[in-house]
Amino acid sequence: MPNYHFLDNAFWEKDDKTLVKCIRITKLADGREKKDILSIPKFRADGSSNPQFEEVVNALTMEGIDRTHQERLERKVVEKQQAEVIESQNRKANQLEDLFTLKLKAFEIETIKLSTNRHLRSRLRRAQNEIELNAISTLLIGEELGYFTKVEEEDE
């Protein structure tokens, strides 16, 4: 009687079901267990049938391996989607953090800090991206330095 068993989580490494990956737990003499991760081909190098492959298939059944293989594929798809969502969230958070840092730097500029144009300062705080931030900063600085003149609306 073998002193090992296979965990019920084997899967096919090849779609043609000629290579199975499984975990073998071996009971050692001192009572501990040893875990081996095995990739077992269906055929040996000489083309003959591999008895170890047959042993795994007999222990876990083709249907059992197919089931765990399908569960693994589905789990991998979900994990990939979750990783993409997390990556997207991290990227967005980093962009917002960078934009916030740029806004702080913009308000450290004396001309912007001392500006009395509340409308442009407010627009600067609400800027959604770096280009908008730069454009509004340029307008605000240009106005404060007198490069632009305000056009007063006349009553008709």
Convert the pLDDT of each residue in 107-138 to its tens digit.
999 999 999 999 999 999 999 999 999 999 99
Burial 2-40 (b: 16+ CB within 10 A, else e): eeeebeeebbbeeeeeebbbbebeeeeeeeeeeeeeeeb
Q: Give the span between the Cα atoms of 96 and 128, in whole angstroms.
A: 9
| C-beta separation of 26 from 33 below 8 A | yes
| C-beta separation of 127 from 136 below 8 A | yes
Residue 55, both tokens: 């042993």
Convert the pLDDT of each residue in 55-107 to its tens digit.
999 999 999 999 999 999 999 999 999 999 999 999 999 999 999 999 999 99
Q: Torsion over CA of 81, 86, 88 and 93, rounded to 10 degrees? A: 170
Confidence of residue 50 (pLDDT cuts 50, 70, 90): very high
